[in-house]
Amino acid sequence: MAGLAVAPGVTHWPGRLSPEAQVALVKALRAVARAAPFFTPRMPGTAKPFSVRMTNCGPLGWVSDQSGYRYQPQHPETGAPWPAMPAVLVALWEELSGYPHPPEACLVNFYESGARMGLHQDRDEETFDAPVLSVSLGDTAVFRIGGTTRRGPTRSLRLSSGDVLAFGGEARLAYHGIDRILAGSSALLPQGGRLNLTLRRVTKPPA
């Protein structure tokens, strides 16, 4: 299934995951959340809570608290290692990322109907050679992506349940965010809302 070129370095695969695959992935994520419960991250410095709740799977997980943004190998509240990444996500990475090394972190964000995410860059990784691969489950999100400067022009697109998006190359450090969630646009999650999974390579591969 060929992806749609949204912008240089940005590719969209609408409906890449079938309805059955989406249900199976949600089941796998419930197991992830039992081992690594969702938590509310906070902004560095101010300790203001995010409007999303999050967890992680894979060897490393992204966290944010008053002391800063970082990747770490354990859950910030339980101290336990993050659970393994579901195999379907690793397979998606191998098929779509074009990167020869495995992902090391899968950040799982849960957006309730009123949640959003301001424009930001993903730049806490050691290497930017690999793309960020994003998987959408549940309610449709209005996603916005721009260039590598905060005040540059942006464009928006709707990401629906089962969609996959990748941004890499010249778009790897593009500013991006979520403007709003279209409540009730999907029946996948019984409680409503949206799950967004972002797969990332964190460390530089061995020479």
Q: Where are the domains of the chain?
A: 4-36+44-200
pLDDT > 90? residue 182: yes
Which 3 state secondary structure label does DSSP give 69?
strand
Contact 117, 177 (CB under 8 A): yes
Query: pLDDT per residue over 48-82, tens digit each?
Result: 999 999 999 999 999 999 999 999 999 999 999 99
CATH topology of domain 4-36+44-200: Jelly Rolls (2.60.120)
Please tell me whether the overall predicted TM-score, pTM, comes out greater than 0.75 for this model: yes
Give the integer Cα–Cα distance in Å for 16 and 189: 18
Ramachandran sector of residue 148 (left: φ over 0; alpha: ψ -120 to 50; beta: rest) = alpha
Give the integer Cα–Cα distance in Å for 162 and 23: 10
pLDDT at residue 148, as a whole number: 95
pLDDT at residue 102, as a whole number: 97
pLDDT > 90? residue 1: no
Which tokens sit at 102?
């495995």
Query: pLDDT per residue over 109-151, tens digit each?
Result: 999 999 999 999 999 999 999 999 999 999 999 999 999 999 8
Among 109, 115, 103, CA closest to 166: 103
Beta bridge partners of 109: 54, 196
Q: How confident is the model at residue 204 (pLDDT cuts 50, 70, 90)?
A: very high
